[in-house]
Chain A
Amino acid sequence: MLILECPYCGVKAEETELHGGGQAHIKRETVGSDDDAFEHYLFTRANPRGVHLERWRHANGCGKWFHAARDTTTLEVFGTYPAQTFEPPKDIIDAITAKRPDWSFKNWQGAT
């Protein structure tokens, strides 16, 4: 069972209280972007084995969207952070690199 702490209401919510929203930090292409970029935005998603940054919604709770950093193979959670950001905050990156020294946000599959 996945347990994530909602950064807005501080509840340690278990999976059934949450709703997954897929990959985080997607650049949303809009009017004026070329077809390749738009296709990438619509259809291409990272599916890493290892560290991943995801969006989650505290659906049966405060209703807010937040981001979580976790490992898709070990289910280890590195931390959660508010969604109003383009990249993970320093403490999250530190928590990841403490366990996975080779990892960097720039080389993460989902980075655009």
Chain B
Amino acid sequence: MSNAVSALQGVTSKGFVTITEAGLRGMITLRGDLSSAKLKKAVKSAAGVDVPAQRACNSAGDKAVAWMSPDELLVMVPYAEVVDATSRLVKALEGEHALAVNVSDARAVFTIEGEGGREVLAKLSPVDLSRETFTTGMFRRTRLAQAAVAFWMRDETTFELVCFRSEAQYVFDVLSMSARTGSEVGFL
């Protein structure tokens, strides 16, 4: 078995918030009918949480399920468990018109920690990130400058963000630039 490494191998950048490449994360793309009882049960047993509502992310401990589109979910589990979790999902969905694929190595995950996380993202995305509108538990697919990303809040001061692995360096660079000390706007 080859030694798996994440896109930027845990690189960190400190500005008025801290940007960190979060390392390996198990991610499974699950497509199918989200209202099906069989799928709901399979998701619950794989990640320990219910199928999230539109644009939401349900998480418990190191596992989470995020709503990607009306027929797609992103199931997150620890990297070491992902192969096993994928095959269990596939088995549980036998006979359903559904698809579960392990996409862990195709993605990169970043964490944005600190008070100004909202501001760092608001400079780069066409998303209303005010405290009233964007809250913990919400999940938003959008663009970050020129790259397609998705982000959500783990808690009030921590954002998590996923992007394609091939764009990891670009995403890290724009995030670091947006978080540069002295560039605070102080609005959000």
* A residues lining the B interface (CB < 8 Å): 8-11, 13-14, 16-17, 59-64
Contacts and interface: CB of A to CB of B under 8 A. Distances in A.
Complex A-B, nearest 8 residue pairs according to Cβ-Cβ distance, in ascending order = A62-B69, A60-B143, A14-B126, A61-B141, A8-B70, A60-B148, A17-B126, A60-B142
A9 B126 contact: no
A2 to B, nearest CB: 12
Main secondary structure of the interface of A (DSSP, over half): loop
Contact of A64 (B55, B70, B143): B70
Given A14-B126, A16-B126, A60-B148, A9 B142 contact: no
A59 B141 CA distance: 10
10 contacts: A8-B70, A9-B69, A9-B70, A10-B55, A11-B55, A14-B126, A60-B143, A61-B141, A62-B72, A62-B141
Contacts of A60: 141-143, 148
A17 B55 contact: no
A12 to B, nearest CB: 8
Nearest to B126: A14
